């Protein structure tokens, strides 16, 4: 009887060891707990990798420099017009930078060459509004409550229609210049 109990205990230990090895060998479940996999993929695809940003910005700088040279500008005249040293914009053209270039230098470069800086910011994966120093003013609590009501799936559609109609009437009234 004792032998049987020892063998049974050994079998249980071996089974436990196999289970542990199997648990550690399988890939972890990387799905997010509060979002879908598609949300995670969409967020990852909207972000631009540093290598892609570097290549796009290098192509942007190359196009801008080609345009400037077609107009007869030399490196020294480009440096004088933009305030950016030739070594810097040649480094940008090669994509030889680790961090994103200084926004002030990018603006001076673009302004000096007559190029839209939004293209440079888009190439770097930035938006022109991102570097805005002034954040939007917070919404009053009444407006947030109205927005939550309009977004709530439990609120009947006729109630939402009334709210939308009232908001459009208030907007028209404000456009005409009447006090609200």
pLDDT tens digit sequence for 104-155: 899 999 988 888 888 888 888 776 554 445 556 777 888 888 888 888 888 8
DSSP string covering the chain, please? -HHHHHHHHHHHHHHHHHHHHHHHHSPP----SSS-HHHHHHHHHHSPPHHHHHHHHHHHHHHHHHHHHHTT--HHHHHHHHS--HHHHHHHHHT--SSPPPHHHHHHHHHHHT--HHHHHHHTT--TTTT-SSPPPPPPHHHHHHHHHHH-TTS-HHHHHHHHHHHHHHHHHHHHT---
What is the pLDDT tens value at each position of the chain, 180 positions in all? 566 666 777 877 787 777 666 555 555 555 555 555 555 555 555 556 778 888 889 999 999 999 889 989 899 999 998 999 999 999 999 988 887 888 889 999 998 888 888 888 888 877 655 444 555 677 788 888 888 888 888 889 999 899 889 988 888 888 887 555
The span from the CA of 81 to the CA of 174, in Å, is 46
User: Could you tell me the fold of the domain covering 50-123?
Assistant: 434 Repressor (Amino-terminal Domain) (1.10.260)
The span from the CA of 156 to the CA of 152, in Å, is 9
Q: Helices 103-113 & 75-82, crossing angle to 10 degrees?
A: 120
Q: Where are the beta strands (DSSP E) in 50-158?
A: none
Q: Give the predicted TM-score (pTM) of the model.
A: 0.48
Question: Domain ranges in the chain?
Answer: 50-123, 141-176
């Amino acid at each position: 009887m004792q032998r049987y109990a020892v063998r049974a205990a050994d079998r249980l230990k071996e089974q436990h060891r196999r289970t542990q090895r199997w648990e550690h060998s399988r890939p972890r479940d990387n799905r997010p707990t509060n979002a879908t996999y598609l949300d995670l993929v969409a967020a990852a695809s909207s972000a631009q990798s540093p290598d892609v940003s570097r290549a796009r910005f290098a192509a942007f700088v190359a196009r801008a420099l080609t345009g400037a040279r077609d107009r007869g500008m030399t490196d020294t005249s480009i440096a004088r017009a933009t305030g950016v040293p030739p070594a810097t914009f040649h480094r940008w053209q090669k994509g030889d930078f680790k961090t994103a270039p200084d926004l002030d230098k990018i603006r001076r470069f673009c302004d000096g060459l007559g190029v839209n800086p939004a293209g440079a910011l888009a190439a770097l994966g930035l938006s022109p509004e991102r570097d805005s120093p002034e954040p939007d003013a917070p919404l009053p609590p009444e407006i947030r409550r109205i927005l939550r009501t309009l977004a709530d799936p439990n609120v009947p559609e006729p109630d939402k229609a009334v709210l939308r109609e009232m908001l459009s009437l208030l907007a028209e009234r404000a456009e005409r210049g009447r006090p609200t």
